[in-house]
Amino acid sequence: MLKFVMLPNLQLISDLVQNNIWLLPIAGLSLEIVFLAFKESLRSPPDHPSTAAEASDKLASHALTILGLVFTGTTFLLSNNSDYSNGTALLFFVSMGLMFFSFQFRNLTNQKNLYYFIQDKSVSWGIISLIMGVTLLAVDKNLLKVSF
C-alpha cells in the first residue's frame, strides 16, 4: 500500500523564517557565549591590561562607526519603503543593538578575557545580522531571486 507524505506549505515556512529570522543572531551569540565561557583562558584576567584596553577601545570605535552607518541606513530604508517584512526591520534593530552592546562593553574588558570575547562576538553577530537584513530586504524587493 502506498502512503502519500504531505509536504509542508513552503510559503508558510518561508513567512515563518522571514518573520522570526531576527532570533538567529541573538541565539547564535548566546550559544557561543555559553559554550565557550567555560574555557579557562577566558576566565582569567588579561596578560597585558593596557594592550587589552587598547584593543577593546579600537573594537568599540569600530562598533560605534558601524552603529552610526546602520542607524542612518535603517532610517533611510524604513522611511522610503513601506513594503518590507517585519523580519527585515527587526534584523536591522538587532544589528544596532548588538553594536551598541559591544560599544558599552568596553569598560569591562580589563577584568577578564571573557568580556573582550563577548565584545568581539557581539560585533561579529551584529555584522552577520546586518548582512542577513540586507539580503532579506533584497529578497523582499525582488532584487534577489530565491525559488524553492
User: What length does the chain have?
Assistant: 148
Model-level pTM? 0.76
Alpha-carbon distances of 141 from 12, 35, 48, 81, 133, rounded to whole Å: 19, 37, 49, 10, 12
96: left (phi over 0), alpha (psi -120 to 50) or beta: alpha
Task: Render pLDDT for 45-55 as a digit per residue (tens, 0 to 9).
Answer: 677 767 777 88
d(CA 125, CA 24): 9
Of the pLDDT bands very low, low, confident and very high (cuts 50, 70, 90), residue 128 is very high
d(CA 41, CA 35): 13
Give the residue with greater pLDDT, 62 vs 49.
62
Of the pLDDT bands very low, low, confident and very high (cuts 50, 70, 90), residue 35 is confident
- From 50-64, 104-118, 126-140, the region with the lowest mean pLDDT: 104-118
d(CA 88, CA 22): 8
Domain boundaries, the chain: 50-141
